[in-house]
Amino acid sequence: MRDRLTLTPVAVAERLALWRILVAGFVTIYVAVRSPVFLGLRDRPPAEWDGVGPWAWLDRAPMDPVLVVLVGIVVVTGAMVAAGVWHRVIGPVFGVATLLLLAARSSYGQILWFEPLIALHALVVAFAPAADAWRLGDWSAGDDEPAMRYGHPLRLAAVLTIATYVLAGVAKLRIGGLEWLRGDTLGNHIAFSATRLEVFGERTPFLADAALALGPALTVGAVVVVAVELGAPIALLGDRWRTGWIVAVLAMHLGVAATMFIVFPYHVTGIALLPLFDARPSRWRRWPG
C-alpha cells in the first residue's frame, strides 16, 4: 500500500499528542523569547496599524494592555497545552490567543511568512483531541485503537502547510510576474538584506556575495524556489515524492538563511512538516512517519 495522504486518515492518539507537544512547546518558547518584540509593538505609531485577520474590523490598534495580556496568555496556556492540562478548556484559549497575538504583529506591517502557519497549526491543536495521550499526570498511551479523530487534525495540518507554500509561490508571480523568474528579483532581495545588515553594523550573510556573483545564474535559483513552492502538492503523493519535496524545501530554507539570514525556525525544525508523514499505526510504532 502506498504511503500517501488520504481524505479518511486514521492515527493513534500518541501521534497527535506528539505533535501537540511540539507545536505548543514551540509557540511557548518562541513567544517567551520574542516577548520584547511583541511588547515593543506598543511603541509603534498608531498610523502604522492596518488590522488583518481577526483584527480586520478594528480601525485602530488595541490598547497597550491587550498585547501584554496576550503574551502572558500564550506563554502560560502554551505550556499547559504542551503538558496536556485541561486541554478542552485551555486548548481553545491557547489557539485563539496565539492567532490574535501573531495577527497583531502582522497588522503593524511586520509580516513573517511562517507566523500565519504557526497560528493555524495552533488552532488545529487547540480544537483537536490532542491530549488523549501523553499528558501531565498520565503519560501512558491513549486508546490503542486508531481513529479518524486523531488522523483528521494531522491531515488538516498537512494541507495547511502545503497551502502556505503554494500561496507563497503564487504571490511571487502575482507581484513580480514572470520577471521574478529571471533571477534579478532574487538577487535584489539578497543584496537588500546584506546592505541592510551592513548599514546597521551587523554581519552580512556569508554566502550573499557568492550568490550575487552568480549573476544570471541566479535565474536557476529563482526558478527552483518557485517550482518548489508551487509544486508543494506533490508531497501529498507520499513516499519518495514527499521525501524528495521535503529535502528540496529544507535545502531552500537553508539557502535563504545562508544568503539572507532569514530563518524559518518552525519549518527547519521539522514541526511544520511532520504532519506530512504517514500516520498509519503500524508505521507509527517504529517512528512517527
Sequential DSSP letters for the chain: ------SS--B-HHHHHHHHHHHHHHHHHHHHHTHHHHHGGGGS-GGG----GGGTT-SSPPPHHHHHHHHHHHHHHHHHHHHTTTHHHHHHHHHHHHHHHHHHHHHTT---TTHHHHHHHHHHHHHS-TTSSSBTTB-S---SS-BHHHHHHHHHHHHHHHHHHHHHHHHHHHHHGGGGGGSHHHHHHHHHHHHHHHHTT-PPPTTHHHHHTTGGGHHHHHHHHHHHHHTGGGGGG-HHHHHHHHHHHHHHHHHHHHHH----HHHHTSTTTGGGS---HHHHTT---
Is residue 35 in a domain?
yes
Is residue 215 in a domain?
yes
Which pLDDT belongs to residue 46? Answer: 84
C-alpha dihedral, 103 to 108 to 114 to 117, nearest 10°: 20
Domain that holds residue 78: 13-284
Q: What angle do CA 221, 225, 103 make, to 5 degrees?
A: 135
Percent of the chain with pLDDT strictly greater than 70 = 89
Give the pLDDT band of residue 194 (cuts 50, 70, 90): confident
Mean pLDDT estimate for the chain: 85
Question: 62 pLDDT exceeds 90?
Answer: no
Distances (CA, A) of 160 to 55, 62, 148: 21, 28, 18
Specify the amino acid at residue 124. V
- Which of 252 and 238 is assigned the larger pLDDT? 252
Please state the rounded mean pLDDT for residues 168-179. Answer: 86
Is residue 4 in a domain?
no
Is residue 79 in a domain?
yes
Please state the rounded mean pLDDT for residues 77-106. Answer: 96
Is residue 7 in a domain?
no
pTM above 0.85, yes or no: yes
Is residue 145 in a domain?
yes
Give the pLDDT band of residue 54 (cuts 50, 70, 90): very high
- In angstroms, the CA 147 to CA 133 distance is 13
Which pLDDT belongs to residue 1? Answer: 42
Is residue 8 in a domain?
no
Domain count, the chain: 1
- Which of 80 and 278 is assigned the larger pLDDT? 80
Is residue 77 in a domain?
yes
